[in-house]
Amino acid sequence: MRAISLLVMSLFCIFTFSGCLLKDKNIVEGNGTITYINLEGGFYGIVADDGEHYVPINLPPEFKVDGLRVRFKGKIRDDLVSIHMWGTLLELIYIRKL
């Protein structure tokens, strides 16, 4: 019984420290293009290179440039709602110009 407990504890530690159990599936990152969307009063979104559309809720003013290429990382905010029915709400963690 002690050997099984030790094995279970060892496997738990391996998976935990490797990030398998703690990885946040709501974090996305990639490259994309800032795009001005002329809907509902107008707003800026990110069209990721994989085709996904994101509406950043905290886009800094200096990144509000239509056509700007960026590298970004953010947390999907499915706990919030918006009038923009264009993409997924995203709270930026990191953004930089490419």
Which architecture, in CATH terms, is 24-97?
A: Beta Barrel (2.40)
Chain centroid, CA 64 distance in Å: 18
E strand map for the chain: 27-37, 43-48, 53-56, 69-76, 88-97
Segment 7-16, tens digit of pLDDT:
555 555 555 5
Q: Considering only CA atoms, which of 51, 9, 6 is closest in space to residue 28?
A: 51
pLDDT of 76 over the 80 cut: yes
> Does the CA dihedral 3-7-8-9 come out positive or negative?
positive
Lookup: tokens for 6? 């030790």
pLDDT digits (tens, 9 = 90+) for 43-56: 999 999 999 999 99
- Number of Cβ within a 10 Å radius of residue 83: 9
Tally the residues of the chain.
98
Can you give the pTM of this predicted structure? 0.75
Which two structure tokens, joined as six digits, stand for 21? 């159990």
Residue-range domain boundaries for the chain: 24-97
